Structure 1
């Protein structure tokens, strides 16, 4: 008897599953003799819907699930459209060190961009004009995009340096006894850096903590809350430096005797390409310190594994040549301050990335980021 019941239960599983899947679309009717008839008019109408329409509905449900929040902590967006004016200030610096004690930091003039943005729900587009480099040409290329949902965020970036670098500071020996102040602020166009990649991260406490409230103004954080973060990242770096040109600058500003004594012949390589794959973890906190006001801070540290190839000897350090010496510490930091009453909003946000690459005779640090100032308003209230 027990075996028959088990067999009956197993044989009924497909029908139970089919009934569960059709529960939302089928209707039931009873005939005069007590038999049940399944009518699928609604299901048939669904099947007749165009594929694209069904795909859009499914996509909308997925996106909506990603946006579910605890309304005691987060007030969802009530408008369909937004218009915003934004000022973006871009900063970057590159530190290059050799094993003999030479340490140089290069930084270009900050870019100052202004432009309009328009948005519809999750789609946000804009254009900014670099007002600081309108007259003097510059071959710098930049692309930065950050997308935030309740659960997942992503940073996309692409950068290629220009030709307006200056020496921020310089040290020629480990003890730093040489006065290098005459080098500060000197123009140097012998460095070329490129970086492209992405950071993808997950917000654990996404029902009560809102990244969009701080960095895309699409929700409002009503009560303070924080969340742990985890993520993955991928970046590809390329760096080249004209060490001979740098030697000439040191010789001109500090004297040939100082240059010949303290300047090395250059690192083991004058050009290096390396790939960075990282795992990150951190914490973010939104502080609601007054009505409609929000201050946000987010810090993440990443363990990145570097695989590199140099131009000088074509040495390749790929992931098959695993070594713990190829691990380095990277980081991402975010700050935000915003006033938002759902109709109008204004504030500032900042995001900075830092990457490290270290070998016994060569070390680099890359830091870049943006500071944004904005004001905007929402319109087209959702029905």
Structure 2
């Protein structure tokens, strides 16, 4: 064997040795990676299971009830059809050297159809105006409403967003000297957008069920009442084109009412009482009244030529008393339910030379059913 052959043989041996070493190293690295991946996966699974147990535990605590007074919800999901009627009213008031003036605007009550799905605590739905189906709003901006509700035995949260149309009417007025009445005359220069939330806490939650009357997720078996406390936030964006008012009103309108837009936020603390009256089997009626102390922060965009500038922003802050009223009646045999409810909000805002009162209420009539029974109740 010559030197050249021996050298090639040594090179081949070194190459295959290095290749084998690299393969062993790669195999060892893969095994290490697998162990790390398995450890990580087990850790994530353990965390998920632990978190799930915590969530279920918290859920049970928030839905703890006295079954002598309240029957628990037996199902996971719910489906509901709803017919609702909205009514709203806006009153604008202004004072000047010429005296007090008031304008009241309100549309005709509108009727909506809604479809809602519920999962335990959460109700999500969408509604639309009946007139939209028949082309009743061809030349008017459409009304829209969306809502998200979360209910438990101890507390509840309502999130909502709604936009009015442009079909307001001048319902009444005072402080104007007019030769011809303009009462109930159409006025398309008024529009509002509202968004906000209501959150409330129920003190006697083990015996008094607010969801039994308003979300159909439990059954009130014996009459009971409870004090309640809550917090509400709402943002109102009101557009007012005063130049579209009838000529007689427009010419006499004082400067405090010549604005283009009012945007105000309302923060309120509510304290009140509610009572569930079980007047027949599977039937309950509720009435609750929550007076509220509200703090309002408002912005008025003034487009009055007399002000000396094209646009003027006036920030106004004030504290007033508001009111939230709820009433409802429902039949619920755990599987099927039908009922009606009324929720009304009154927001009152007053200053020396300007006032704004906003009232809106919703009457709901609904029918639905629960399905997909919870695991713990399937054999009962």
TM bucket by the smaller chain?
0.7 to 0.9
Does 2:162 match 1:163?
Answer: no
Q: How do 1:1-383 residues align onto structure 2 when only pairs under 5 Å count?
A: 49-99=45-95, 100-134=99-133, 135=135, 136-137=137-138, 138-172=141-175, 182-248=181-247, 250=248, 263-267=253-257, 269-312=259-302, 313-317=312-316, 326-383=318-375
How far off its partner does 1:311 sit?
Answer: 2.1
How far off its partner does 1:79 sit?
Answer: 2.1
Give the match's secondary structure for 1:69.
Answer: coil
TM-score, length basis structure 2: 0.77
1:95-135 deviation line (CA, Å, top 9, x unaligned)? 11111322122112333222433333234333333222331
CA contact (8 A) 1:167 1:185 kept: yes
Give the match's secondary structure for 1:205.
Answer: coil
Structure 2 Cα separation of the partners of residues 236 and 292 of structure 1: 38
C-alpha spacing 1:337/1:198, structure 2 compared with 1 (3 Å): same
Q: CA RMSD in A?
A: 2.5
**Larger radius of gyration between Structure 1 and Structure 2:** 2
How far off its partner does 1:265 sit?
Answer: 4.2
- Structure 1 residue runs of 5 or longer lacking an equivalent are 1-45, 252-258, 319-325
Structure 2 Cα separation of the partners of residues 105 and 224 of structure 1: 41
Give the match's secondary structure for 2:254.
Answer: coil
Name the count of aligned residue pairs: 319
C-alpha spacing 1:317/1:295, structure 2 compared with 1 (3 Å): same
Runs of 4+ in 1 over 6 A off after TM superposition: 178-181
1:3-42 deviation line (CA, Å, top 9, x unaligned)? xxxxxxxxxxxxxxxxxxxxxxxxxxxxxxxxxxxxxxxx
Structure 1 Cα separation of the partners of residues 200 and 372 of structure 2: 31
CA contact (8 A) 2:150 2:158 kept: yes
Structure 1 Cα separation of the partners of residues 63 and 123 of structure 2: 17
TM-score, length basis structure 1: 0.76
- Structure 2 residue runs of 5 or longer lacking an equivalent are 1-41, 303-311, 376-380
Give the match's secondary structure for 2:54.
Answer: helix
Structure 2 Cα separation of the partners of residues 278 and 350 of structure 1: 20
CA contact (8 A) 1:201 1:231 kept: yes
C-alpha spacing 1:159/1:338, structure 2 compared with 1 (3 Å): same
Structure 2 Cα separation of the partners of residues 195 and 376 of structure 1: 28
How far off its partner does 1:190 sit?
Answer: 1.2
Structure 2 Cα separation of the partners of residues 239 and 269 of structure 1: 10
C-alpha spacing 1:81/1:269, structure 2 compared with 1 (3 Å): closer
